[in-house]
Structure 1
Amino acid sequence: MQLGEVTLRSEREGESAVRSRIRLWLDADSAARTVNAPVDPPADPSPGLGTGLPVPHARAATVMEAARALVTGSRADRRRVRVLLACVVAAERPAWFAELCLLADALVVGEHPSADRWSPEERRLVVGWVAVLLELSGEAGVERLVDALVRRGSDAGNDRRNPG
Protein backbone atom coordinates (compact mmCIF):
# COMPACT_ATOMS: atom_id res chain seq x y z
CA MET A 1 0.00 0.00 0.00
CA GLN A 2 1.36 3.42 -0.93
CA LEU A 3 1.15 6.69 1.01
CA GLY A 4 -1.46 8.12 -1.39
CA GLU A 5 -3.75 5.12 -0.90
CA VAL A 6 -3.49 5.40 2.89
CA THR A 7 -4.18 9.14 2.77
CA LEU A 8 -7.26 8.68 0.57
CA ARG A 9 -8.58 5.86 2.75
CA SER A 10 -8.03 7.95 5.89
CA GLU A 11 -9.86 10.92 4.40
CA ARG A 12 -12.79 8.66 3.48
CA GLU A 13 -12.82 7.47 7.09
CA GLY A 14 -13.06 11.03 8.34
CA GLU A 15 -9.45 11.68 9.35
CA SER A 16 -7.68 14.74 8.09
CA ALA A 17 -4.79 14.33 5.70
CA VAL A 18 -2.48 15.95 8.24
CA ARG A 19 -3.44 13.53 11.00
CA SER A 20 -3.04 10.49 8.75
CA ARG A 21 0.41 11.64 7.57
CA ILE A 22 1.55 12.22 11.13
CA ARG A 23 0.32 8.78 12.13
CA LEU A 24 2.19 7.27 9.16
CA TRP A 25 5.40 9.02 10.23
CA LEU A 26 4.97 7.90 13.82
CA ASP A 27 4.17 4.33 12.77
CA ALA A 28 7.16 4.21 10.42
CA ASP A 29 9.46 5.62 13.10
CA SER A 30 8.12 3.18 15.68
CA ALA A 31 8.50 0.24 13.29
CA ALA A 32 12.07 1.26 12.48
CA ARG A 33 12.97 1.33 16.18
CA THR A 34 11.28 -1.94 17.08
CA VAL A 35 12.10 -4.26 14.18
CA ASN A 36 11.40 -7.81 15.31
CA ALA A 37 10.56 -6.68 18.85
CA PRO A 38 7.20 -7.86 20.23
CA VAL A 39 4.97 -4.92 21.05
CA ASP A 40 1.97 -5.00 23.34
CA PRO A 41 -0.77 -2.52 22.46
CA PRO A 42 -0.78 0.44 24.86
CA ALA A 43 -3.50 0.59 27.47
CA ASP A 44 -5.95 3.42 26.82
CA PRO A 45 -7.11 4.77 30.20
CA SER A 46 -9.77 7.05 28.74
CA PRO A 47 -12.42 5.76 26.34
CA GLY A 48 -12.27 7.20 22.87
CA LEU A 49 -8.79 8.67 23.19
CA GLY A 50 -5.70 7.74 21.25
CA THR A 51 -3.32 9.75 23.40
CA GLY A 52 -2.87 7.31 26.28
CA LEU A 53 -3.28 10.27 28.67
CA PRO A 54 -6.25 10.41 31.07
CA VAL A 55 -7.79 13.54 29.53
CA PRO A 56 -11.09 14.50 31.18
CA HIS A 57 -14.02 15.97 29.29
CA ALA A 58 -13.93 19.77 29.48
CA ARG A 59 -15.41 22.86 27.96
CA ALA A 60 -13.13 24.77 25.58
CA ALA A 61 -13.08 27.70 28.03
CA THR A 62 -11.79 25.39 30.78
CA VAL A 63 -8.99 24.08 28.56
CA MET A 64 -8.04 27.63 27.52
CA GLU A 65 -8.04 28.84 31.15
CA ALA A 66 -5.77 25.97 32.19
CA ALA A 67 -3.41 26.59 29.25
CA ARG A 68 -3.39 30.35 29.94
CA ALA A 69 -2.45 29.74 33.57
CA LEU A 70 0.44 27.49 32.52
CA VAL A 71 1.72 29.95 29.92
CA THR A 72 1.50 33.02 32.13
CA GLY A 73 3.06 31.11 35.03
CA SER A 74 5.97 29.86 32.96
CA ARG A 75 9.50 31.18 33.22
CA ALA A 76 9.72 31.78 29.47
CA ASP A 77 11.00 35.05 28.06
CA ARG A 78 8.15 37.59 28.31
CA ARG A 79 8.78 39.01 24.82
CA ARG A 80 8.61 35.54 23.32
CA VAL A 81 5.39 34.82 25.20
CA ARG A 82 3.84 38.09 23.96
CA VAL A 83 4.66 37.18 20.34
CA LEU A 84 3.14 33.73 20.79
CA LEU A 85 0.00 35.06 22.46
CA ALA A 86 -0.50 37.57 19.65
CA CYS A 87 -0.43 34.62 17.24
CA VAL A 88 -3.19 32.83 19.19
CA VAL A 89 -5.73 35.58 18.54
CA ALA A 90 -4.44 36.77 15.15
CA ALA A 91 -6.98 36.51 12.34
CA GLU A 92 -4.19 35.41 10.01
CA ARG A 93 -1.50 33.44 11.79
CA PRO A 94 2.14 33.52 10.64
CA ALA A 95 3.15 30.42 8.64
CA TRP A 96 5.48 29.09 11.35
CA PHE A 97 2.72 29.33 13.97
CA ALA A 98 0.11 27.87 11.60
CA GLU A 99 2.36 24.82 11.16
CA LEU A 100 2.71 24.50 14.92
CA CYS A 101 -1.09 24.71 15.15
CA LEU A 102 -1.43 21.82 12.69
CA LEU A 103 0.65 19.66 15.04
CA ALA A 104 -1.26 20.87 18.10
CA ASP A 105 -4.57 20.07 16.42
CA ALA A 106 -3.56 16.67 15.05
CA LEU A 107 -1.69 15.38 18.08
CA VAL A 108 -3.43 17.02 21.03
CA VAL A 109 -6.69 18.89 20.44
CA GLY A 110 -8.06 16.40 17.90
CA GLU A 111 -7.68 13.68 20.52
CA HIS A 112 -9.55 15.59 23.25
CA PRO A 113 -12.80 13.81 24.18
CA SER A 114 -14.85 17.02 24.09
CA ALA A 115 -13.31 18.69 21.01
CA ASP A 116 -16.18 17.69 18.73
CA ARG A 117 -18.58 19.72 20.91
CA TRP A 118 -16.60 22.97 20.65
CA SER A 119 -17.43 25.66 18.11
CA PRO A 120 -14.91 26.19 15.28
CA GLU A 121 -13.70 29.42 16.93
CA GLU A 122 -13.33 27.73 20.33
CA ARG A 123 -11.36 24.91 18.73
CA ARG A 124 -9.16 27.42 16.85
CA LEU A 125 -8.33 29.21 20.11
CA VAL A 126 -7.67 25.99 22.04
CA VAL A 127 -5.37 24.87 19.22
CA GLY A 128 -3.54 28.19 19.50
CA TRP A 129 -3.06 27.85 23.25
CA VAL A 130 -1.83 24.26 22.89
CA ALA A 131 0.56 25.39 20.15
CA VAL A 132 1.99 27.97 22.57
CA LEU A 133 2.47 25.26 25.20
CA LEU A 134 4.18 23.03 22.64
CA GLU A 135 6.49 25.85 21.59
CA LEU A 136 7.40 26.77 25.17
CA SER A 137 7.53 23.36 26.83
CA GLY A 138 7.08 20.60 24.28
CA GLU A 139 5.43 17.41 25.44
CA ALA A 140 5.95 18.39 29.07
CA GLY A 141 3.64 21.36 28.51
CA VAL A 142 0.91 19.08 27.23
CA GLU A 143 1.37 16.76 30.21
CA ARG A 144 1.07 19.74 32.58
CA LEU A 145 -2.11 20.81 30.77
CA VAL A 146 -3.62 17.33 31.23
CA ASP A 147 -2.63 17.41 34.92
CA ALA A 148 -4.27 20.83 35.31
CA LEU A 149 -7.46 19.57 33.65
CA VAL A 150 -7.52 16.51 35.90
CA ARG A 151 -7.17 18.79 38.96
CA ARG A 152 -10.13 20.83 37.66
CA GLY A 153 -12.14 17.60 37.39
CA SER A 154 -14.76 18.83 39.85
CA ASP A 155 -15.60 21.74 37.49
CA ALA A 156 -19.18 21.31 36.23
CA GLY A 157 -17.85 21.67 32.67
CA ASN A 158 -15.92 18.44 33.10
CA ASP A 159 -19.05 16.45 33.93
CA ARG A 160 -19.47 13.67 31.36
CA ARG A 161 -23.20 14.47 31.20
CA ASN A 162 -22.39 18.06 30.22
CA PRO A 163 -19.00 17.88 28.48
CA GLY A 164 -19.61 20.64 25.90
Structure 2
Amino acid sequence: MNGTGEGDGMAADGLEVRDFIAALVRGGAPSTAGPPGLAVPEAAAEEVIAVARRLALRVVPEGRWWPRPTPALLDMATALVVDGHPSAPRWSQAERQRLATWVAVLIEHRGEDGVQELLRALSGG
Protein backbone atom coordinates (compact mmCIF):
# COMPACT_ATOMS: atom_id res chain seq x y z
CA MET A 1 0.00 0.00 0.00
CA ASN A 2 1.20 3.45 -0.79
CA GLY A 3 -0.68 5.23 2.01
CA THR A 4 -2.23 7.77 -0.31
CA GLY A 5 -5.68 6.23 -0.19
CA GLU A 6 -5.77 6.01 -3.97
CA GLY A 7 -6.16 2.57 -5.47
CA ASP A 8 -4.84 0.78 -2.42
CA GLY A 9 -8.08 -0.31 -0.73
CA MET A 10 -8.15 2.67 1.60
CA ALA A 11 -11.41 4.38 2.54
CA ALA A 12 -11.64 8.15 2.25
CA ASP A 13 -10.99 8.62 5.96
CA GLY A 14 -7.80 6.54 5.87
CA LEU A 15 -9.21 3.28 7.19
CA GLU A 16 -8.79 0.23 5.05
CA VAL A 17 -12.13 -0.97 3.71
CA ARG A 18 -11.99 -4.27 5.57
CA ASP A 19 -11.12 -2.46 8.80
CA PHE A 20 -14.02 -0.07 8.27
CA ILE A 21 -16.47 -2.95 7.75
CA ALA A 22 -15.07 -4.74 10.79
CA ALA A 23 -15.61 -1.56 12.80
CA LEU A 24 -19.20 -1.36 11.53
CA VAL A 25 -19.81 -4.90 12.68
CA ARG A 26 -18.32 -4.11 16.09
CA GLY A 27 -20.42 -0.97 16.29
CA GLY A 28 -17.39 1.28 16.48
CA ALA A 29 -17.49 3.01 13.11
CA PRO A 30 -18.59 6.62 13.04
CA SER A 31 -21.87 7.54 11.38
CA THR A 32 -21.53 9.62 8.28
CA ALA A 33 -24.02 12.19 7.09
CA GLY A 34 -25.18 12.23 3.53
CA PRO A 35 -27.61 10.67 1.11
CA PRO A 36 -28.67 7.02 1.37
CA GLY A 37 -26.02 4.64 0.15
CA LEU A 38 -28.20 2.39 -2.01
CA ALA A 39 -29.34 3.35 -5.48
CA VAL A 40 -32.78 1.76 -5.19
CA PRO A 41 -36.22 3.36 -5.36
CA GLU A 42 -38.07 4.27 -2.20
CA ALA A 43 -40.45 1.56 -1.02
CA ALA A 44 -42.56 0.50 1.91
CA ALA A 45 -40.75 -1.71 4.39
CA GLU A 46 -43.12 -4.62 3.78
CA GLU A 47 -42.30 -4.58 0.05
CA VAL A 48 -38.55 -4.63 0.68
CA ILE A 49 -38.90 -7.30 3.37
CA ALA A 50 -40.97 -9.48 1.01
CA VAL A 51 -38.29 -9.31 -1.70
CA ALA A 52 -35.48 -10.07 0.76
CA ARG A 53 -37.48 -12.91 2.33
CA ARG A 54 -38.24 -14.48 -1.07
CA LEU A 55 -34.58 -14.40 -2.08
CA ALA A 56 -33.36 -15.63 1.31
CA LEU A 57 -35.76 -18.56 1.45
CA ARG A 58 -34.33 -19.78 -1.86
CA VAL A 59 -30.88 -20.13 -0.30
CA VAL A 60 -31.72 -21.42 3.20
CA PRO A 61 -30.60 -25.05 3.50
CA GLU A 62 -33.38 -27.61 3.31
CA GLY A 63 -34.84 -28.44 6.69
CA ARG A 64 -33.94 -25.07 8.22
CA TRP A 65 -37.32 -23.40 8.47
CA TRP A 66 -36.32 -20.15 10.18
CA PRO A 67 -33.23 -17.99 9.69
CA ARG A 68 -30.77 -17.75 12.56
CA PRO A 69 -28.10 -15.28 11.46
CA THR A 70 -25.31 -14.39 13.83
CA PRO A 71 -25.32 -11.00 15.57
CA ALA A 72 -22.31 -9.95 13.47
CA LEU A 73 -24.19 -10.68 10.24
CA LEU A 74 -27.24 -8.81 11.53
CA ASP A 75 -25.04 -5.80 12.28
CA MET A 76 -23.47 -6.01 8.84
CA ALA A 77 -26.85 -6.33 7.11
CA THR A 78 -28.14 -3.33 9.04
CA ALA A 79 -25.11 -1.16 8.37
CA LEU A 80 -24.61 -2.02 4.71
CA VAL A 81 -28.16 -2.54 3.44
CA VAL A 82 -30.95 -1.56 5.83
CA ASP A 83 -29.48 1.80 6.86
CA GLY A 84 -28.55 2.54 3.26
CA HIS A 85 -32.07 2.21 1.88
CA PRO A 86 -33.58 5.60 1.01
CA SER A 87 -36.85 4.74 2.81
CA ALA A 88 -35.23 3.40 5.99
CA PRO A 89 -35.82 6.55 8.09
CA ARG A 90 -39.59 5.99 7.77
CA TRP A 91 -39.53 2.33 8.81
CA SER A 92 -40.22 1.10 12.33
CA GLN A 93 -37.52 -0.60 14.37
CA ALA A 94 -39.37 -3.92 14.04
CA GLU A 95 -39.46 -3.57 10.24
CA ARG A 96 -35.77 -2.73 10.15
CA GLN A 97 -34.98 -5.79 12.27
CA ARG A 98 -37.05 -8.12 10.05
CA LEU A 99 -35.30 -6.82 6.95
CA ALA A 100 -31.89 -7.14 8.61
CA THR A 101 -32.66 -10.77 9.42
CA TRP A 102 -33.44 -11.68 5.82
CA VAL A 103 -30.50 -9.68 4.45
CA ALA A 104 -28.19 -11.40 6.94
CA VAL A 105 -29.40 -14.78 5.67
CA LEU A 106 -28.54 -13.69 2.12
CA ILE A 107 -25.09 -12.59 3.26
CA GLU A 108 -24.56 -15.83 5.18
CA HIS A 109 -25.40 -18.06 2.25
CA ARG A 110 -24.55 -15.97 -0.81
CA GLY A 111 -22.25 -13.22 0.43
CA GLU A 112 -21.96 -10.15 -1.78
CA ASP A 113 -23.78 -12.00 -4.59
CA GLY A 114 -26.88 -12.22 -2.38
CA VAL A 115 -26.77 -8.51 -1.63
CA GLN A 116 -26.30 -7.66 -5.30
CA GLU A 117 -29.23 -9.91 -6.24
CA LEU A 118 -31.38 -8.11 -3.67
CA LEU A 119 -30.38 -4.69 -5.00
CA ARG A 120 -31.18 -5.76 -8.57
CA ALA A 121 -34.59 -7.08 -7.47
CA LEU A 122 -35.35 -3.88 -5.55
CA SER A 123 -34.39 -1.84 -8.61
CA GLY A 124 -36.79 -3.79 -10.79
CA GLY A 125 -34.08 -5.77 -12.56
Normalised by the shorter chain, which TM-score bucket?
A: 0.5 to 0.7
Distance, in Å, in 1 between the alignment partners of 2:62 and 2:118 is 20
Work out whether 1:140 is the aligned partner of 2:125: no
Q: In the alignment, which residue of structure 1 is the partner of 2:75?
A: 102
- After TM superposition, the runs of 4+ consecutive aligned structure 1 residues lying more than 3 A away are none
- What does residue 29 of structure 1 align with? 16
Count of equivalent residues = 99
Query: Unmatched 5+ residue regions in structure 1?
Result: 1-23, 31-46, 88-95, 153-164
- Identical aligned pairs, as a percentage? 38
Which structure 2 segments of 5+ residues have no match?
1-10, 18-33
Q: Could you tell me how far apart the structure 1 residues matched to 2:104 and 2:97 are?
A: 10
Residue 50 in structure 1 maps to residue 37 in structure 2:
yes
Give the counterpart letter for 1:101 in structure 2: L
CA deviation profile, 1:121-145 (whole Å, cap 9, x unmatched): 1111111111111101111111111
Secondary structure in structure 1 of the residue aligned to 2:35? coil
Q: CA RMSD in A?
A: 2.6
Q: Which amino acid aligns with 1:124?
A: Q
In structure 2, the partner of 1:37 is none
TM-score normalised by length of structure 1 = 0.52
User: 1:27/1:133 Cα in 2 relative to 1: closer, same or farther (>3 Å)?
Assistant: farther
Q: Flag the structure with larger Rg.
A: 1
Preserved contact between residue 82 and residue 100 of structure 2 (Cα < 8 Å): yes
> Greater helix percent: which structure?
1
